[in-house]
Chains A and B, each alone.
Chain A
Amino acid sequence: MSFDAVAIRADFPIFDRKIRDGKRLVYLDSGATSQKPNVVIDAESNFYRLNNAAAHRGAHQLAEEATEAIESARRIVADFLGGKEDEIVFTKSSTEALNLLAYSIGSAPVGNKFHLNAGDEIVLSEMEHHANLIPWQQLAARTGAILKWFEVTPEGRLDLSNIDAVITSKTKIVSLTHQSNVLGTINPLDQLVKRSHEVGAVFILDACQSVPHMPVNVADLEIDFLAFSGHKAVGPTGVGVLWGRATLLAELPPFLFGGSMIESVTMTEATWAPAPRKFEPGVPNMAQIVGLGQALNYLSKIGMSVIHQHEIELTKYALGKLGEVDSLRIIGPLDTQMRGGAVSFTLGEIHPHDVGQFLDDAGIAVRTGHHCAWPLTRKMGVPATTRASFYLYNTTEDIDQLCESILAAQKYFG
């Protein structure tokens, strides 16, 4: 069956509503959050209607069903990523997943593989989202570790020319984005993962912008940890995933403490349940976890390669059409080689907020600002950008409307 974005759109009820006085919704902000298909909305509400009980606790039928619902979602996530069930930790967001890593590593005692000494190095890049920057800044501040980073070239690619000087024998952690949420750049991981492991560092992948949009297999990538969020992958808000190699999760100390993450507790001390339970204290966001499972099933049924191909075609089309607009500057790679469907741009002297407001009046939803990657927008020499980001329900017609409205905005503010 060939890919049909218009037919797919029918699965997403939000596209039935009108925007700003009866206009068709042109949703180009999936990089911020994706829309939800009926199967996800139904899975979430049906959990509350039919199966709601505290998972992993209780001796009654509902508790069994809730537990099974969550554990089957865990199997779905594991299969989706090419990992094992016990390697999937549910968090409330990918931000929490990355913070979990930073805090857990920071609390690793002497003798633990993850223990950081002053002078150990943490490697990032200039294109990181704040969620994969600030937790490491803070960890460095707490431990005396040193923050290093790869620079970004004017074309919006990682500058790996000095890879051996950035990742050194002192490097303990390398944490990089798979795909930039601003530039759309997909980073080449082979060389980075290989170098990280050569020096004994763990490699962490912020996959928020890649897992929802293309096939990502943790075994093929040979990475150590990966974080992504449900809500960018047509899943619910309030659920994120941390995948980690089983041997590493076993050694990593827990981050949050409380119910159901323990093995045994006395008044003075406690021991931990094995991973992933060790990292999941409290009653989890069950309905959201169940919804995420259905979201990934939905994407799998369509096929991640097909979705990625569709987005590459949209991106190619958008780069071509936007490239024809006078004084429009694309911030990021100008071709679709190793590039995903987030296209940021500036429009002459017109501020992105004004562009965004004008587009909104035409029913077009885009993101404006620094996209939680302030060091990157500074590096690219712009105070802010407008970003259009594409997903499986977008069409070339959406991009035509975007370009038309951009031309109208130039007239309005000119």
Chain B
Amino acid sequence: MQLDNLYQEVILDHYKNPQNKKLSPNYDAQVHHVNPSCGDEIDLNITIKDGTVAAITWNGVGCSISQASVSILTDLLIGKSVSDAYKIFDEFVALMQSKGTITGDEDLLEDAVALAGVSKYPARIKCALLGWMAFKDASVQAQSKG
């Protein structure tokens, strides 16, 4: 089934068992992002300590792609330096915009390469990016607070 390229097992796993899906009361920055075309919403809290992503917690409603994508993001980016996290962010955005022409750097993206199939479904790219854009926004806000 063509659909299996989109809904990889790892995506359905993250969807059913989302990681870090509980907003922590302590954070440096909190953001709320929505996907206005479908109504998906996410709240994301971030803590950055000494240039490292110390914590990301979130809550939200949305499709399996959006929910799995943010769950994978938290697994991937917590503990990384902010500069490494941004490298991964850039690679992930490029993968999403690739229209299926690249498969993604598995060493860098780990589980997130499972989302490569999304890039062939233009309507779903924004689902996959919702949590990532929230992360970028929150991390910038957290750093600007110093």
- A residues bordering B, Cβ < 8 Å? 20-21, 351-354, 357-358, 361, 368-370, 374, 377, 383-384, 412-413
Contacts and interface: CB of A to CB of B under 8 A. Distances in A.
A82 to B, nearest CB: 36
B136 interface: no
Given A351-B63, A354-B64, A368 B38 contact: yes
A383 B40 contact: yes
Given A353-B63, A353-B124, A369-B38, 18 more contacts: A20-B2, A351-B62, A353-B64, A353-B127, A354-B7, A354-B65, A357-B3, A357-B6, A361-B2, A368-B38, A369-B39, A370-B39, A374-B39, A377-B39, A383-B41, A383-B61, A384-B40, A412-B7
A188 B61 CA distance: 35
A357 B1 CA distance: 13
B39 A358 contact: no
Contacts of B144: none
A361 B121 contact: no
B38 A370 contact: yes
Contact of A384 (B3, B7, B39, B64): B39
B6 to A, nearest CB: 7
11 contacts: A351-B64, A351-B67, A352-B38, A353-B65, A353-B127, A357-B3, A357-B6, A361-B2, A383-B40, A384-B40, A412-B7
Of all A-B residue pairs in the complex, the 5 with the closest CB atoms, nearest first, are A353-B63, A351-B63, A369-B38, A361-B3, A370-B39
Contacts of B7: 354, 412
Contact of B1 (A361, A369, A370, A374): A361
Contacts of B62: 351, 353, 383
A413 B2 contact: no
A383 B64 CA distance: 14
A350 to B, nearest CB: 8
Interface residues of B, number: 21
A21 B38 contact: no
Interface string B22-40: 0000000000000001111
B102 interface: no
Contacts of A412: 3, 7
Interface string B62-96: 11111100000000000000000000000000000
Contacts of A384: 38-40
A361 B39 CA distance: 22
B12 interface: yes
Nearest to B1: A361
A358 B40 contact: no
Contacts of A374: 39
Nearest to B61: A383
A182 to B, nearest CB: 12
B1 to A, nearest CB: 7
Contact of A353 (B1, B3, B12, B38): B38
A413 to B, nearest CB: 7
Contacts of A369: 37-39
Nearest to A351: B63
Interface string B119-141: 00100100100000000000000
A383 B39 contact: yes
B63 to A, nearest CB: 4
Contacts of B67: 351
Nearest to A358: B3
Contacts of A351: 62-64, 67
B14 to A, nearest CB: 13
Contacts of A357: 3, 6, 63, 121, 124
Given A353-B124, A368-B38, A370-B39, A21 B2 contact: yes
Nearest to B41: A383
A222 to B, nearest CB: 37
B37 to A, nearest CB: 6
